[in-house]
Structure 1
Amino acid sequence: MPKKRFIGGIAWVVAMLAGCGAATASPATRAPLPSEPTMINYVDPSVVHGLTIRTLSTGERGGRRMHASYPAVAGAPRLTDRLRDTVEDELHRFTWRKTPGDTAVAPEFNVDWLLAAASEEVLGVRLRVGRSMDAGWRESRTTLWYDRTDRRVLDSAGLIRDDAAMTTLVRLVGQEMTRRGTPVRLGSLRLDPLRLDPAMFDSLVFNPRGDLVVEFDDGQVGSRATGRVAVAVPSAVSEPLLSPTGLRARRAVVSSARPSGTSEQDMLDASTDKPPARSSRAGEVDCARARCVALTYDDGPGPGTGRLLDVLGRYGARATFFPLGSGASARPDLLRRMRDEGHLVANHTWSHRDLTMLTTLMVTSQLDRAQHAIAQAIGQAPTLMRPPYGGLDGRVADVAGGLGMSVVRWNVNADDREDPAPRAIAERVVARTGPGSIVLMHDVHDATVDAAPEILRRLTEAGYTFVTVPELYGRRAMRPGWIYDSGAAATSPERLSASYPGAMSP
């Protein structure tokens, strides 16, 4: 988890090994040790040179909502390929699974990621795959490791020395589950914990003091409602079981643990109030007289975002960017460039979940985590948010309003998610745009970036001026919690909640 971002970043569990409770920080690690040993610190992705984010799928197709991203690291193409293949396999299984005929909500698929370790010797990427179909939300976890010494990609089992060591690890974990009475399931079968399947051990990570943490998927151990379950095996017991790559991974985590006292200061920095985000060029255009249009870009930053900023700069155009919090934490340099070049940076949640399917607490976490990440990157607090998939009800609008954000949707959709033809994207945008339009596009797609020059050229020739969303409203300040679909349309949260009976209740 990037330091300075704390809300929702630590995973809690219900199972741990005996004797692994709170401990005093050792002189070797000088790290503040959590009382729960299966808590994991994650690496700030912005410190990893050459890291970009790839988005495999985003949007809604066939009544299913899908978003999947993973990191690509320069110099580690085998890791990038393996991550892509893993995400593609999960997406394929979700896409081809039959949808229940009586489902009342759209099935959803979501993949996000965190760095479990990063050093000159090793990289660890933890994928969290979430899906809902007919039995509520379920998550699985897979951690892949890249050994930079011999340029190999390994499953988590590769952290363990050999089959005999894996057998010992399985026995240790099974003994603890037996002691706690924790049930174990493989599909519909209930198993003796001492007969755990090693294939379940596909997410092995380390806590800051070097204990080996074994994570399980939802429903593998305990009920689905339990969520993430993990067991921490003390370093003194687990270290002899580790392979050379495992030892490198453990060393990377322990050596990068925060020095004592740093986390408190980080929390203070993260909670410091920031001024409201505002374009540095706001006020240059009077949209009551000019033909204004607001170009907006979701889901980034992507590999082509820098190139898009170049194009916008050549035309003197400003846009509103709605990055994900996970992307903001990985590429704060691009967000700062957006700010410096007169664009506006807004909030698109942390990981692109359908907010209408989340509890109020989870909605708040999705927005607040992204808010912290963006504010730390640009030194300003976003005042706008856009719900993923446009999914909105009165409750979500109420949470956004409570966090000081207006809700922005759109009235022009570029339909650029699946279209590989830049010219077709440009044709749709130009044909659908009118004065006061809010145009939805995605800077994670190369075709959208390629379409930008023609969109800007043709709309400029038609007399349009490109401004950020708040400028469409001139002196009419946008109100927190209100919903804005175009320069001419705004909906109060009270009116929205009337369309969703009971939506404003917790």
Structure 2
Amino acid sequence: MPKSWFAGGVALIAASAVSCGVTASPVADALVPSEPTMINYVDPSWVHGLSTQTLSEGDSGDRHVHVVYPSVDDAPLLTEKLRRTVTERLDRFIRDTSMNSAVRHPEFNVDWQLAAASDQVLGVRLRIGESIGSGWSDSFTTIWYDRMEKRSLDATDLLRDGSSLATLAQIVKEALVARGPEVDPYAIKPDARHFDSLVFNPHGDLVVEFDDYQVATKSLGRVAVAVPASDVEPLLSATGLRAQRAAMRKTDAPASMTSGESMAAATTDRPPARSSKAGSVDCAKAKCVALTYDDGPGPDTRRLLDILATQRARATFFTVGSNASAHPELLRRMRQEGHLVANHTWSHRDLTALPGSRVADQLTRAQRTIIQAIGQVPALMRPPYGASNAQVSSVAGKLGLSVVRWSVDTEDRLDPNPRAVADRAVSRAEPGAIILMHDVHGPTVDAAPEILRRLKKQGYTFVTVPELYGSNGMQPGRTYDSADSSG
């Protein structure tokens, strides 16, 4: 069947002229194609049995945490290794921030991409970002799973042995010498900690990625070296050769486009996202409330859709782009069943801590993914953690997005008790309320039948957010917290 690469899956950094492909981007994760460190990431919806796991906190607290990583049914050892990797880093972050109460809104964020996927191997690239008062820093880790040997592996396990690692370190060091004074090649050691992110480009070259500050005294963005396939093949283990072949499989990845070009192409002849049942309720007369669910789709979203269908209730889903790319079929089901799909950014970063270009990137990457799934253009966005400012509103407005927050916080991130979640949702509801919940939390989905039953008994009708505003509609760039607020 036809295949397509998901949004943001081309390259991350600017082109380089040096022979081994040393590159340094001024902005990490910039959507600028490059050779030879370009990596064509695999569409996660291709992988049977792949879902996502989310760890989060922060809508009601000072610390901002959002972690997403994949789980694969037939690779439980991979899932467990990913879980250990992110939780160990998160535990360290929590310890560090607990000892430094002066830092306002420290942030920990993890997103992922598939570096390769075949019937023999899987490769998951994690980007781990942290801000603890001294600026933002990114680190990269790639975890591999050998389906033939049923083993989860570190990146250096792609190499034959310690001597292969030493040889690779020398090749990379020589390449970094050509990079100039901004990079310190002598910081490189034949140490697994320096080579924990190894992936392959479509030509079979080995791409070695370094963390911020790992080979420089200041942040240069993503620094990477591409070692030619002919040089690296003698160094590879059996798993490494399988991973190389998986990355070299022919694809029909489209030619790269700028963010503006791709958004223009994506929105051409696409209608704005709207509930298929919009107009069936007049909220000027009916007692309306909008249930909203953030951060999904996740493992429990399908069950939530079943519950909503049984009660003939509809909701607004603010989806995270990286999760949406793994479950486009759930987004299509939301649209078909009268719900509304909206934008919750690509990787759930605090937008108020980003420059305008990165705010736009977070929104447009998610926007492209949602459009591809549902064939409609979202008109709503919810800022992660509810954190917004004039710049966020301005960027959202230019992208045709209204900013939606909430008037009722069920605090479902903090309290795993379904009864308590339901009690808060029901006791705080009032006509025109926008109720915040998260479909990535199982207890929240467990609470849904009780919330629906009790609110319906009180005479409430469940509508999508725009229906609260009736004929007045919602304006791009304006902020909405409830039916009584619009700016």
TM-score range, shorter chain: over 0.9
Name the residue aligned to 2:340: 344
Closer, same or farther: CA 13–241 of 1 in aligned 2, 3 Å:
farther
1:101 is displaced (CA, Å) by: 5.7
Query: CA shift at 1:13, angstroms?
Result: 5.9
Of residues 244, 249, 252, the one that matches 2:246 is 252
Report if aligned partners of 1:409, 1:483 keep a CA contact under 8 Å in 2.
yes
**Cα contact 1:7–1:368 (8 A) shared by 2:** no
Contact 1:3 1:266 in 2 (8 A): no
SS at match of 1:75: coil
1:402 match: 398
Partner Cα distance (2:85, 2:20) in 1? 35
Residue 154 (structure 1) aligns with:
153
Alpha-carbon contact 2:55-2:65 (below 8 Å) kept: no
Structure 2: how far apart are the matches of 1:349 and 1:324?
A: 6
The answer as to whether partners of 1:4 and 1:267 remain within 8 angstroms in 2 is: no
- Residues 403 and 329 (structure 1 numbering): CA distance in 2 closer, same or farther, change over 3 Å? same
Q: How many residues align?
A: 474
Distance 2:283 2:372 in 1: 31
Q: Distance in 2 between matches of 1:259 and 1:369?
A: 16
TM-score by length of 2: 0.92
Contact 2:5 2:254 in 1 (8 A): no
CA distance 1:434–1:336, change in 2 (3 Å):
same
Q: Distance in 1 between matches of 2:413 and 2:90?
A: 16
1:335-484 to 2 correspondences below 5 Å:
335-484=331-480
Q: Unmatched 5+ residue regions in structure 1?
A: 22-33, 186-190, 492-506
Indicate yes or no: 2:193 matched with 1:199: yes
Who is 2:29 aligned against? none
Partner of 1:168: 167
Q: Distance in 2 between matches of 1:261 and 1:282?
A: 38
Q: Are 1:182 and 1:222, in contact at CA under 8 Å, matched by a contact in 2? A: no
Deviation, 1:177, is 1.3
Aligned equivalents of 1:60 and 1:310: distance in 2? 27
Shift of 1:490: 0.8
For the structure 1 residues 182 and 152, does the alpha-carbon distance in structure 2 shift closer, same or farther, using more than 3 Å as the test? Answer: farther
**In structure 1, the residue corresponding to 2:413 is in which secondary structure?**
coil
Q: Which amino acid aligns with 1:113?
A: W
Q: Which residue of 2 aligns with 1:28?
A: none
Distance 2:85 2:21 in 1: 32
Offset of residue 181 of structure 1:
3.3
Report what 2:105 is aligned to. 106
**8 Å contact kept, 2:188–2:194:** no
1:229 and 2:223 equivalent? yes
Match runs of 1:131-146 below 5 Å = 131-146=130-145
Tell me the equivalent position of 1:498: none
Q: Aligned in 2, Cα 1:452/1:138: closer, same or farther, shift over 3 Å?
A: same
Secondary structure at the aligned position of 1:39 is classed as: coil
Is the 8 Å Cα contact of residues 267 and 371 (structure 2) preserved in structure 1? Answer: no
Give the one of 275, 278, 291 matched to 2:271: 275
Q: 1:392 is aligned with what amino acid?
A: S
Q: Counterparts of 2:71 and 2:300 in 1: how far apart (Å)?
A: 13
Q: Return the alpha-carbon distance in structure 2 between the equivalents of residues 358 and 384 of structure 1.
A: 20
Query: In the TM superposition, what is the alpha-carbon distance from 1:106 to its structure 2 partner?
Result: 1.1
Offset at residue 256 of structure 1 (A): 4.2
- Distance (Å, rounded) in 1 between the aligned partners of 2:392 and 2:263: 26
Q: Are residue 216 (structure 1) and residue 217 (structure 2) matched? A: no
Q: How does 1:71-86 map to 2 (within 5 A)?
A: 71-86=70-85
Question: Whole-Å Cα distance in 2 between the matches of residues 289 and 216 of structure 1?
Answer: 59
Name the SS of the counterpart of 2:272 in structure 1.
Answer: coil
Q: RMSD value over aligned CA atoms? A: 2.4
Secondary structure, counterpart of 1:475 in structure 2: helix
Q: Shift in Å at residue 224 of structure 1?
A: 3.5
Letter paired with 1:379: G
Give the conservation status (yes or no) of the 8 Å contact 2:104–2:133. Answer: no
Deviation at 1:17, TM superposition (A): 5.5
Q: 2:52 matched to which residue of 1?
A: 53
- Whether the 8 Å CA contact 1:13–1:230 is kept in 2: the answer is no
Q: 1:146-180 deviations in whole A, cap 9, x for unaligned?
A: 00001000000000011111111011001111233
Secondary structure at the counterpart of residue 248 of structure 2 = helix
- Tell me how far apart the structure 1 counterparts of residues 255 and 345 of structure 2 sit (CA, whole Å): 29
Q: Is the 8 A contact 1:307 1:449 kept in 2?
A: yes
Gap regions ≥5 residues in structure 2: 23-32
CA deviation after TM superposition for structure 1 residue 208, in Å: 0.7
Deviation at 1:465, TM superposition (A): 0.3
Please give the secondary structure, in 2, of the residue aligned with 1:226. coil
Establish whether residue 18 from structure 1 lines up as the match of residue 19 from structure 2.
yes
Q: Distance in 1 between matches of 2:327 and 2:483?
A: 30
The separation in 2 between residues aligned to 1:267 and 1:87, in whole angstroms, is 32
Tell me how far 1:3 sits from its aligned partner.
4.3
- Asked if 1 retains the 8 angstrom alpha-carbon contact of 2:20 and 2:175, the reply is no
Q: Tell me the distance in 1 between the aligned counterparts of 2:211 and 2:256.
A: 32
| Counterpart AA for 1:41 | N
Paired letter, 1:105:
R
Say yes or no: does 1:89 pair with 2:88.
Answer: yes
TM-score relative to the length of structure 1: 0.89
Q: Secondary structure at the match of 2:124?
A: strand
For 2:235 and 2:14, locate their aligned partners in 1 and report how far apart those are by CA, in whole Å: 23
Deviation of 1:268 after TM superposition, in Å, equals 8.4
- What does residue 37 of structure 1 align with? 36
Q: Which amino acid in the other structure matches residue 157 of structure 1?
A: T
2:123 corresponds to = 124
> What is the CA-CA distance between 1:206 and the residue it aligns to?
0.4
**Partner amino acid for 2:283?**
C
- Does the 8 A contact of 1:211 with 1:233 survive in 2? yes
Provide the C-alpha distance between the structure 2 equivalents of 1:54 and 1:194, rounded to a whole number of angstroms. 34
The percent identity for this pair of structures is 58
Whichever residue aligns with residue 356 of structure 1, its letter is T
The residue type paired with residue 19 of structure 2 is: A
SS in 1 for 2:138: strand
Whole-Å separation in 2 of the counterparts to 1:128 and 1:273:
34
